[in-house]
Amino acid sequence: MRTPPYLPFLDGPPGIAPGLKPIAPEAWLLPDTEAAAWLAPKRELMRSRRSDVFAAHEADAEMTEAATIVLAATGPAVGEWSTPLEAASAMVSDDLCIMVRDAEGLWRLKAASLCTPTYWSLAEKFGKPLGGLHAPVPGGDPGLAARISRIFDGLRPGLVLERCNWSVQPGDERFTPSSAPLKARAHAMQEADALDQLHLRVERQTIRKLPQTGALLFTIRIVIDPLSAGLSTPRHVEAFAAAWQGVDPAMHRYKGWAAYDRLVGAALDARRNPVTSEGSTNTRQDK
pLDDT reported for residue 70: 96
**Positive/negative CA dihedral, 162, 24, 30, 56:** positive
Single out the residue of 278, 253, 282, 254 nearest to residue 270, CA to CA.
Answer: 282
pLDDT mean across residues, the chain: 90
Under DSSP, the state recorded for 271 is: H
pLDDT reported for residue 67: 98
pLDDT reported for residue 128: 85
Question: In the beta sheet, which residues pair with residue 222?
Answer: 203
Q: In Å, how far are 97, 198, 244, 256 from 190, measured between CA atoms? A: 38, 11, 20, 19
Residue 193 in domain: no
pLDDT greater than 90 at residue 186: yes
Q: What is the pLDDT of residues 258-275, one digit of tens each?
A: 999 999 999 999 999 987
pLDDT reported for residue 278: 39
pLDDT grade, residue 283 (50/70/90)? very low
* CB-CB contact of 33 with 93 (8 Å): no
pLDDT greater than 90 at residue 46: yes
Q: Is 128 exposed, middle or buried (0-12, 13-18, 19+ CB in 10 A)?
A: middle
pLDDT greater than 80 at residue 75: yes
Q: Domain tally for the chain?
A: 1
Residue 124 in domain: yes
Pairwise CA distance, residues 149 & 132, whole Å: 12
Residue 183 in domain: no
Q: What are phi and psi of 100, to 5 degrees?
A: -120, 135
The arithmetic mean of pLDDT across residues 62-74, rounded, is 96
**Parent domain of 71:** 18-173+201-224
Q: What is the pLDDT of residues 97-117, one digit of tens each?
A: 999 999 998 999 999 999 999
Question: In the beta sheet, which residues pair with residue 165?
Answer: 203
pLDDT reported for residue 249: 92
Under DSSP, the state recorded for 193 is: G
Residue 26 CB contacts under 8 Å (≥ 6 apart), including other chains: none
* CB-CB contact of 133 with 191 (8 Å): no
* CB-CB contact of 119 with 176 (8 Å): yes
Residue 145 in domain: yes
* pTM recorded for the entire structure: 0.89
* CB-CB contact of 115 with 46 (8 Å): yes
pLDDT greater than 90 at residue 82: yes
pLDDT greater than 90 at residue 140: no
Residue 282 in domain: no
**Positive/negative CA dihedral, 37, 41, 44, 45:** negative
pLDDT greater than 90 at residue 279: no
Residue 268 in domain: no
Residue 215 in domain: yes
pLDDT grade, residue 35 (50/70/90)? low
Pairwise CA distance, residues 247 & 231, whole Å: 18
The arithmetic mean of pLDDT across residues 175-200, rounded, is 97
Residue 42 in domain: yes
Identity of the residue numbered 3: T
- C-alpha Rg value of the chain to the nearest Å: 20
Q: What are phi and psi of 225, to 5 degrees?
A: -135, 155
β pairing state of 160-170 and 216-226: unpaired
Pairwise CA distance, residues 82 & 139, whole Å: 38
Percent of the chain with pLDDT over 70: 88
pLDDT reported for residue 277: 34
Q: What is the pLDDT of residues 213-235, one digit of tens each?
A: 999 999 999 999 999 999 999 99
Lowest-confidence segment of 92-106, 107-121, 122-136, 148-162 by average pLDDT: 122-136
Pairwise CA distance, residues 198 & 260, whole Å: 9
